[in-house]
Chains A and B, each alone.
Chain A
Amino acid sequence: MKDTEGPDQKVTLQAWLAGRAHLVATSHERDLDHALAEVRRDLIRQIEEERSRREPRKPEDALSHDLTRPGIRRRLASRPRGSPCSAVVTMANTADLPLDLRDTTERMLVGYERATGGMVARLGDVLAVDGG
C-alpha cells in the first residue's frame, strides 16, 4: 500500500504463480475494504484468463475438465460425430467457493434457470449431449 492517507493511496496485489506470468492488480479506492475487493476481483479475473490461455482443452473432454474447478462456464459442447447439432452447456462448480459466495452463486443460478427455462449443470451431474 502506497501513500497511505494521501491523495494517491494505492493498493497493489501481486501474484507469482508457478510457470505463469507475474500478475498485478491495483486499486485507487480510498476505502481499504473496497480496494481489497477490487484487487481480489481483478486478480481472480487475471488468473482465470491466464489459465484459459495456458490450458487449451480438447473439445471431447472439455465438460469433465471444466467441472473440476470452481466457477461458472458456458461452453459449446463437442458435436457428436455425424450430427449437425451442437449445444451450449452452462456448468457450475460451487463446491469449493466460500460459503457466503456459494449461497449467493446458487441463488443466482436458480434465478437464471427460472428466467431462461434452462438448466445449469452442477458438479456431479451426468451430462449427455444428444445429437438428435
Chain B
Amino acid sequence: MSGTESSPTSTLEERLRFGAGFAAADRLRILGALSALAPHLSG
C-alpha cells in the first residue's frame, strides 16, 4: 500500500474545514460522523 490513493473519505478529510466552536480534538469524531457524505461529494 502506498498510502497515496485518494479515497472519497480521504478527500473529505482533506477538504473539510472547521469553523469556530470546534476543537482540534473533535476532528476525528466529526470526520467519522460525516464519512457517509464522502461518496455523495465525489460523484
Contact = CB atoms under 8 A, between A and B. Distances in A.
Interface of A: 1-2, 4, 12-13, 15, 17, 32-33, 36-37, 40, 43-44, 47-48, 51, 69-70, 96-98, 101
A96 B33 contact: no
Contacts of A4: 21
Contacts of A40: 33-34, 36-37
Interface residues of B, number: 17
Interface of B: 8, 19-22, 26, 29-30, 33-37, 39-41, 43
B40 A1 contact: no
A97 B22 CA distance: 27
B39 A97 contact: yes
A44 B37 contact: yes
A12 B36 CA distance: 17
A98 B34 CA distance: 11
A17 B41 contact: yes
